[in-house]
């Protein structure tokens, strides 16, 4: 709740501006029974520390779910969002573990890794299937022992973050043991084309009545594509 004095009104009364709390989970609009169960699961497991793997096509709300877990889990630490496909492979290891000054060329000072930055928070590994097998086994060891070491350092630090991951790929992208380590619990999102009622609902929630052609499209980009189409139509209708 935000309480702010408003000074510009020229009156001495302290006005209270109460913002409506916005929960990430409430932003996930759906009437699909399986997605509704998924939302309930998110509420229940948010307060646990279980490694959580969210599987589903691109644009189906995986990141939104990860943010909801963090928000409902009351973490002391940060939400650290890593796009595993976007980090150059040569840097991946030092980005994850951190590096000691001089441990590789261009490393001019001690650097913390994602595992440290996310201490007592959530490390969100987006597109986790993009992590190469060699790094998967190193991460597995860290997640099992709960300790890691910066590259070039002999000192260990404790790993206290919760791991939440997302993938739109199958299990063949993973070392088996790493997959099971990530998947303390698996949450599966459903493609939008299998819940067309949501198309109408999401469109209307954005202030647009649902055009007939929206219900006749199979939405390969799922909700992300739908939102883009909605914004486009709203702009054109101005």
Ligand X SMILES: Nc1ncnc2c1ncn2[C@@H]1O[C@H](COP(=O)(O)OP(=O)(O)O)[C@@H](O)[C@H]1O
Contacts with ligand X by CB under 6 A lie at 27-30, 56, 58-64, 166, 202, 223-224, 227
Which residue lies nearer to Mg ion by CB, 63 or 110? 63
Look up residue 55 and give its two tokens. Answer: 């599987």
User: DSSP for 42-60?
Assistant: HHHHHTS---EEEE--TTS
The residue nearest Mg ion at its CB is 63
The CA-atom distances, in angstroms, between 231 and each of 30, 62, 227 are 19, 21, 6
Which residue lies nearer to Mg ion by CB, 30 or 165? 165
CB of 204 to ligand X, least distance (A): 11
Which residue lies nearer to ligand X by CB, 99 or 192? 192
Look up residue 176 and give its two tokens. Answer: 């088996």
Which residue lies nearer to ligand X by CB, 94 or 168? 168
User: Measured between alpha carbons, how far is 73 from 48 in angstroms, rounded to an integer?
Assistant: 8
CB of 102 to ligand X, least distance (A): 37
Residue 224's binding partner among ligand X, Mg ion, none (Cβ under 5 to 8 angstroms by kind) is ligand X
CB of 78 to Mg ion, least distance (A): 19
The residue nearest ligand X at its CB is 61
- Contact partners, residue 79, CB within 8 Å, separation at least 6: 66, 67, 70, 118, 121, 122, 124
CB of 35 to Mg ion, least distance (A): 17
Binding site residues, Mg ion, CB under 5 A: 63
CA-closest candidate to residue 69, choices 50, 51, 48, 42: 42
């Amino acid at each position: 709740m935000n309480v702010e004095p408003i000074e510009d009104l020229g009156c001495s009364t302290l006005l209270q501006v109460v913002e409506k709390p916005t929960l990430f989970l409430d932003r996930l609009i759906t009437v699909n029974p399986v997605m509704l169960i998924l939302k309930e699961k998110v509420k229940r497991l948010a307060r646990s520390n279980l490694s959580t793997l969210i599987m589903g096509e691109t644009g189906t709300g995986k990141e939104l779910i990860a943010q909801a877990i963090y928000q409902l889990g009351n973490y002391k630490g940060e939400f650290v969002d890593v796009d595993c496909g976007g980090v150059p492979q040569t840097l991946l290891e030092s980005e994850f573990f951190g590096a000691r000054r001089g441990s590789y060329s261009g490393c001019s000072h001690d650097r913390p890794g994602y595992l440290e930055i996310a201490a007592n928070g959530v490390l969100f590994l987006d597109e986790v299937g993009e992590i190469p097998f060699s790094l998967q086994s190193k991460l597995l060891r860290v997640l099992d022992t709960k300790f890691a070491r910066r590259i070039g350092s002999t000192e260990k630090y404790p790993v206290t973050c919760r791991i939440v991951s997302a993938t739109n790929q199958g299990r063949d992208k993973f070392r088996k043991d790493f997959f099971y380590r990530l998947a303390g619990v698996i949450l599966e999102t459903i493609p939008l084309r299998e819940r067309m009622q949501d198309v109408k609902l999401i469109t209307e929630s954005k202030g647009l009545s649902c055009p007939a052609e929206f219900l006749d499209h199979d939405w390969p980009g799922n909700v992300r594509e739908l939102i883009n189409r909605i914004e486009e139509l709203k702009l054109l209708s101005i």
